[in-house]
A and B are shown apart, each in its own frame.
Chain A
Amino acid sequence: MATTARQLSTVPLGENVRFQRALGSVITYVLLALFSLLVLVPFAFMISTSLKLESQLFSWPIQWIPNPVAWQNYLNAFRELNNIAPGLTFGRIIANTLFITLLAMVAELVAVTLVAYGFSRFRFPGRDVLFIVMLSTMMLPGIITLIPTFLIWRTLGLIDTYDPLVMAAWLGGGAWAVFLLRQFYLTIPRDFEEAALIDGANTFQIYFFIMLPLIKPALLALGVLIFQANWNNFMTPLIYLNTTIKFPIVVALKFFQESLSKEAPKWHYMMAMSAVMSAPILLLFFLAQRYFIEGLTVGGVKG
């Protein structure tokens, strides 16, 4: 069908159309290349700046490949941060960030797989109402619950601990995560569970040995997205953490920026730290791109 339709339209026009097609694809590639330059040039600028000496920062025209290459910026940036925040070494910053990110991620994954299983596989009164309520919480601006939530943690005496950043993940996690997993559960045929039930498996066994292995791709996608969200999160650690030594990398970066004078912003250090902050996420993205994109397109196309 496809070829006949195309042939029909090409026959009377011949050469002219072939030329137009070729021109069309040249224009397409040129535009695609231009757009990717728009993405990549700022990137290159970040890396290039992070490898410059302070004296080269403002030299015009811009030196894309610095001479000499100042690798030591990556050490010195964190050393300087450590000077203004004693104890906050590079290792400590990474440990803090990983501690928050991993605890929140594990808890959310456990909670979300269970909750989404409940919403997709069991009939109980009020289920659909609850599900709609859950979806509508996605529209709630985070700031509206922030103040009372802050007051809860304050009453519990847990301000300036990591608790406010990792505990809530046990309790159901993000609505979009439940929604995404539910979509995956729904694609699994019921036969699997029924067969297992006949063999005498209980609900937990079915969940653990049948459902979890089947949704592994979705779990990976979700894990990657939750890791990213927590690693990049700025608002809550900013509000809950006061002691500099507890800062994750984003807040440490903000602290460093504030300590610099307006006259001499050390862009080479700031860009080095930004690059370090971005590196794990970029690595994860290159390793698990398919999951990133899948996870985000599920809502966008099917939703």
Chain B
Amino acid sequence: MDNSIWATYSPTLLRWILLGGITLGAMVLLNRLLTALGIRRETATGFSLVLPWVLGFSIFSLYPFIYSLYLSFTEYNIFQPPRWIGLANYITMFTADRSFWPSLRLTLFYSALNVPLGLAGALGVALLLNRSVRGIGVWRTIYYLPAVLPVAAVALLWRWMFSPSSGLINFVLQPIYRLLNVEPLAWFTDPDLVMPAYVIMGMWGVFGANAVILLAGLKNIPKHLYEAADIDGAGTMQKFSNITIPMLSSALFYNLVTGVIASLQIFTQAFFITIPNRAGQFINVRIYQEAFTFRHMGYASALAWFLLLLILLLTLFIFRSSSLWVFYETERK
């Protein structure tokens, strides 16, 4: 097989140019067609402009969405056509699949620790940065750094850092181990410690970036609120809980929702850091394995639908609870 660069790239490149041309051509054609049909010019142009998204949505979101729901009720190994088995996949998931509950536990615990801790840490750093410190640009750059790194590089780096025999973490902790007279912790290779280690790695990745986002939110809080509180003799804690938190709550809310959605879908890290069997496996990785390692497309789809429902449920819960703690300025009466 010819594996030269040109032989590998040119077919894709040609199809890529072709598809781009077809997409743009289809937009122009649709515009002409709608105008010819006597539809208002603005409507015709608007429809034509969003056409690529409508096509992309139908082919790569809507159809796969419905088809995967169908697949979740079938047994399908790609080579034979899907066979309808009703709810069997879901029953297997909750009763027979011994790796399901551990994986759910691992994923949920990871999110439950990673997201709130990450947000609290981010809020702390953002508050520090907001104290009119010098060289804000430099601090911001440093804190933001981990978030731009490839996840794979971060995972490998932390696996090395947490290496039981020679990693940096155990080196730093060595005096403590000696003081308590205990064995060095095994971190990623210890089923009980793998999750905390993941949480620490996850926090390193996100909290700086979240801090920068929250800082932008803090800068948006009008100064006069604090000045008025000063005149009324409010203390630091009072100002924090009565001005800062309410004014920041919509940014916190946004970070909470996106954080939960992202952390439930943790994936890449698990490929670079093997998790001990006894600790389970993240749900997203389980779905990948079922689908692409064992070719259980039906069962994998059922797991994916479970994950979707889990995300929807949690998001709904956060949204519902938001009326209790999120403050929107426009609501003010």
Contact = CB atoms under 8 A, between A and B. Distances in A.
B50 A296 contact: no
A61 B64 CA distance: 54
A76 B9 CA distance: 27
B113 to A, nearest CB: 18
A281 B145 CA distance: 10
Interface in A247-290: 250, 253-254, 257, 267, 270-271, 274-275, 277-278, 281-282, 285-286, 289
B101 interface: no
A140 B251 CA distance: 21
A277 to B, nearest CB: 5
A121 B45 CA distance: 10
Nearest to A107: B20
Contacts of A144: 64-65, 68, 301, 304-305, 307-308
Contacts of B56: 111, 168, 170-173
A243 B139 CA distance: 43
Given A28-B131, A141-B265, A171 B149 contact: no
Contact of B251 (A8, A166, A301): A301
Contact of B50 (A60, A115, A170, A239): A115
A250 B152 contact: yes
A73 interface: no
A28 B139 CA distance: 12
Nearest to A244: B3
B140 A147 contact: no
Interface residues of B, number: 105
Nearest to B301: A147
B190 to A, nearest CB: 16
A69 interface: no
B168 A42 contact: yes
B213 interface: yes
Interface string B142-162: 111110111111001110110
Interface in A1-57: 1-2, 5-6, 8-9, 24-25, 28-29, 31-32, 35-36, 38-43, 45-46, 49, 57
5 contacts: A2-B227, A140-B65, A245-B3, A271-B160, A277-B152
